[in-house]
Amino acid sequence: MADNKKKFFLIIKPNDLVLKGINENYQTFFKEELFNENILENNFNILKIFLDENIFKLEKKYKLYVEDINLIIEHKNFITINLSLIKNFQNLLIQKDILKNDLSNIKYSVLKSNADYQLAHMIINRYIVDGNEFLILPEQSNKKNIFIEIKFICLAKNIINNFQTILSKYQISVQNVSSYEYVKSFDTDPDKKDCISVSADKLIQGYNSNEINFIKKYPRNSGLFEKFFRIFN
C-alpha cells in the first residue's frame, strides 16, 4: 500500500548516491548510500544497480510501494539565468495579480528560449521599489516603480529524462527536481547529511517565500497492481 505521510528522496551526486525515506516528523526511517567515482558516467549503470538493490528492499521491508520520488541532483548541466523585470504601478497591493502574470510570462519566455532545459527553481533575489531594496515585496505601497531581479535554475531535459526512464522501471514517478547546490544553501546543519532531504522538502512546501513554485507536472507511471503483488509475494 502507499503511505502519503512518507516521502522519498534520491540524492544524486557525481560520487555519491543516497536513497532516503522520511516521515511526517522529518525523521529518517530508511537510508542507503553508495560512494563511487563514476556514478553519472557509463550510461547510469551504477544508478540502475543501486536502485535494483534498494528499491525492492525498501518496499518489502515497510510493506509499501514508492509511487513518486524527489530528486536532489548535483550536475554540471545545471545552468543559471539571471534577468530583471521593471514595472510601473500605482499601487502594488492592487497590482499583485498583474505581477504574477508577468512572472509567468517571463518563465514561459525563458524556457522557450532554452528549449533543451527544464526549470528547477525560479527565485526572486530582490525587489527595488523607487530606489529602496526589499527582500520581499512590500504589502502596501503607493510607489510607482518596481525593479525585480529574478534567477532561474534549470537542468538539461535529457538528464531528467534519463532519470525518469530509469525510475519508470519501478513504476516510480519523479515528483520534483531540485538543485543540490540550491538546497544546500538552505541546509540548517551542513555537517549532517540527513538535513539535505529535510531542507529540500521544506523548500518544496514553500519555505523560501521568494521562490515561485509553479506546479510541475511529471508523467505518472502505471503498474501499481503489478508492484503491489511483487511486494507481498
* Residues facing residue 34 across a β-bridge: 17
Give the tens place of pLDDT for each residue, 98-147: 777 888 889 999 999 999 999 999 999 988 887 788 887 766 556 567 78
CB neighbourhood size of 6 (10 A):
15
Pick the CATH number of 78-155 from 1.20.120, 3.30.1490, 2.60.40, 3.40.50: 3.30.1490
pLDDT band at residue 233 using 50, 70 and 90 as cut-offs: very low
Q: How many residues does the chain have?
A: 233
* Cα 146 to Cα 137: distance, rounded to the nearest angstrom: 9
Q: What is the DSSP letter of 214?
A: P
* pLDDT over 60 at 222, yes or no: no
Placement of cell 567515482 in the chain: 37
Which superfamily does CATH assign the domain made up of 7-75+156-232 to?
ATPase, nucleotide binding domain (3.30.420.40)
Domain ranges of the chain: 7-75+156-232, 78-155
- Which of 163, 216, 172, 169 is closest to 2 using CA atoms? 172
